[in-house]
Amino acid sequence: MGKINTQKSFVEGFVRQALLRCVPDTTAAAGEISPLARELFESPETLRVKEEMVRTGKKLWAREYVDGNGGNISCRLSSDYVLSTPTMCSKGDLTVEDLCLVDLENRKVIGDLEPSSEIRLHLEIYKTVPRAGAVIHCHPPHATAYAITGQVPPAGIIPEAEVFAGPMAMAPYETSGTQAFAETIRPYVQHHNTILLANHGIVCWADTVTHAEWSVEVADTYCRTLMLASGLGAPIQKIPPEKIADLLEIKQKLGLPDPRLPASEDAGIPHARVAAEPTETQSPAATSADSRDFEALVASVSEQVLRFINGSK
């Protein structure tokens, strides 16, 4: 009996977390925190994401990619909600308790602190690129040096940069924190996961927070290496064009975008934490349920899963 109860508890927990990510949240009245949002924000999986964001913030600060209260990090938790770092907070001092939950319309849902003033940029990326799972904006000095001189680093020189960061694009300058600033990335973000922001810094998106931070590191190291090489008095050698195809194949397998990939191949890999948007085949109860309906749905789906596991009909 104990084994059966343990199995049931595990399945119900798994089903609940899966449904939280695919059921649009319409359970809260105006001004109230939805039970689904609260459960998502406080779930063990979200705690792991929060810890990942805190670790990443400290890495960015240690690498001198952010100074003062600069930079921001976010992670999409579901089709409705995004975790955000707060405004006016050094990433070196970031804690789990500092993080807040916002929806895709830039409304704070949960959190003691206000979200980053530049969260609009992140939300614009999530809306434009549904497969984006995490976004980092920061000011790494070498990449930012290119951004403030209006130059895009040349592509086709270092394999790691080709796969994880390049070719980069340059978004035009707009006042940070504004909707106009957020919209500057629209023409580029579908086919570039690393974008220079003119006179400002850099923004990278990926499937996870850690992978987005990798893109930042690769991009800044690439820019630094190009600067060093330019002072050696010899031409920079490019990767042979026929070898670029091998790197594009790697990018395609990783689900990373590239303007050189055909549109049909540049589909990307859905972020593991983000379920598909609701479809017409989903239960009406799932798309408009209150908390009691949601728990009934969890019980019903869990029962079907247990039946399948145990081989019964």
Structural domains of the chain, with CATH: 51-277 (3.40.225.10)
3-state SS record for the chain:
CHHHHHHHHHHHHHHHHHHHCCCCCCCCCCCCCCHHHHHHHCCHHHHHHHHHHHHHHHHHHHCCCCCCCCCEEEEECCCCEEEECECCCCCCCCCHHHCEEEECCCCEEECCCCECCCHHHHHHHHHHCCCCCEEEEECCHHHHHHHHCCCCCCCCCCHHHHHHCCCCEEECCCCCCCHHHHHCCCCCCCCCCEEEECCCEEEEEECCHHHHHHHHHHHHHHHHHHHHHHCCCCCCCCCCHHHHHHHHHHHHHHCCCCCCCCCCCCCCCCCCCCCCCCCCCCCHHHHHCCHHHHHHHHHHHHHHHHHHHCCCC
Is the pLDDT at 29 greater than 70? The verdict is: no
Mean pLDDT computed over every residue of the chain: 85
Which pLDDT tens digit goes with each residue over 108-131?
999 999 999 999 999 999 999 999
The answer on pLDDT for 100 being more than 70 is yes
Give yes or no for residue 304 having a pLDDT over 90: no
Whether residue 158 has pLDDT greater than 90: yes
Report the pLDDT value the prediction gives residue 139, as an integer from 0 to 100: 98
Instruction: Name the band, by pLDDT with cuts 50, 70 and 90, for residue 166.
Output: confident
